[in-house]
Chain A
Amino acid sequence: MNIDIKFMGDSALVILYGAKQMKGGSSTIPQDEDRIQLETAGIQQDYLCLYRERPLWITDIVPCFSSIGVYYNPVLISPVEAEDFIRRRLTREAGPVPAETEAMSIPVRYGGEYGPDLQAVSEALGMTPEEVICEHCLKTYNVWAIGFLPGFPYMGSLSAKIVLPRKEIPDRRVTAGSVAIAGYQTGIYPYDSPGGWHIIGRTEMKMFDPERAEPCLLKPGDRVRFVRMGT
Chain B
Amino acid sequence: MIEMFAAEIIHQGFLTTVQDLGRFGNRHLGVPVSGATDCWALITANGLVGNEPGAACLEITMAGPSLLFNKDCIVAITGADMSPRISGREAPLWESFLCSAGDLLSFGYPRKGCRTYLAIAGGIDAAPVMGSRSTFLTGGFGGLGGRCLLKGDCLPVKTDPDIEKLSLENILGKRYPVNRRLVYSGRIIARVVPGIDRSLFSELEYCKLFETEYMVTGQSDRMGCRLEGNNIIISRTEALAESFPVAPGSIQVLPTGKPVILMHDAQSTGGYPQIGCLITADLWKMAQAVPGDRIRFMETDVPAALKILEDKYKEAEVMDTAPQTGFHQNTGQNRYEVTISLKP
Tally A residues with Cβ within 8 Å of B.
Answer: 50
Q: What separation, in Å, do the CA atoms of A66 and B28 have in the docked complex?
A: 15
Q: Which residues of B contact A68 (CB under 8 A)?
A: 245
| A-B contacts besides A9-B247, A64-B245, 9 pairs, CB < 8 Å | A6-B196, A9-B305, A10-B305, A20-B244, A62-B268, A68-B245, A71-B27, A149-B138, A150-B30
Interface residues on B, range: 35 or more
Interface flags for A134-171 (1: CB within 8 Å of B; 0: not) read 00000000000111111110000000000000000000
Whether the pair B247, A220 counts as a contact (CB closer than 8 A) is no
**B residues at A contact (CB < 8 Å):** 24-31, 33, 129-130, 136, 138-142, 146, 193, 195-196, 199-200, 236-237, 240-247, 249-250, 267-269, 274, 277-280, 302, 305-306, 309-310, 313
Nearest 7 interchain pairs by C-beta: A69-B245, A9-B277, A210-B141, A10-B305, A60-B27, A27-B241, A216-B29
Q: Pick from A14, A59, A69, A151: contact of B30, CB below 8 A.
A: A151
Q: Which residues of B contact A74 (CB under 8 A)?
A: 280, 306, 309
Whether the pair A9, B30 counts as a contact (CB closer than 8 A) is no
Q: What separation, in Å, do the CA atoms of A24 and B202 have in the docked complex?
A: 12
Q: Which residues of B contact A11 (CB under 8 A)?
A: 247, 280
Whether the pair B193, A25 counts as a contact (CB closer than 8 A) is no
| Least Cβ–Cβ distance between A171 and chain B, in angstroms | 18
Whether the pair A12, B247 counts as a contact (CB closer than 8 A) is yes
Most chain A C-beta atoms within 10 Å of own C-beta, residue among B29, B130, B196, B247: B29
Q: Quick one: closest A residue to B310, CB to CB?
A: A75
Q: Quick one: closest B residue to A210, CB to CB?
A: B141
Q: What separation, in Å, do the CA atoms of A152 and B305 have in the docked complex?
A: 33
Which residues of chain A in 93-134 are interfacial with respect to chain B, using CB atoms and an 8 Å cutoff? none
Whether the pair A220, B302 counts as a contact (CB closer than 8 A) is no
Q: What separation, in Å, do the CA atoms of A8 and B136 have in the docked complex?
A: 23
Whether the pair A151, B29 counts as a contact (CB closer than 8 A) is yes
Q: Which residues of B contact A210 (CB under 8 A)?
A: 129-130, 139-142, 146
Q: What separation, in Å, do the CA atoms of A12 and B269 have in the docked complex?
A: 13
Q: Pick from A9, A26, A63, A152: contact of B241, CB below 8 A.
A: A26
Asked if A86 is at the interface (CB within 8 A of a chain B CB), the reply is: no
Q: What separation, in Å, do the CA atoms of A21 and B310 have in the docked complex?
A: 32
Task: Show 21 A/B contacts (Cβ-Cβ < 8 Å), sorted by A.
Answer: A9-B279, A9-B305, A10-B280, A23-B240, A24-B200, A26-B241, A28-B242, A60-B25, A61-B28, A65-B243, A69-B246, A147-B269, A148-B267, A148-B269, A149-B139, A150-B29, A151-B30, A208-B29, A210-B129, A210-B142, A210-B146
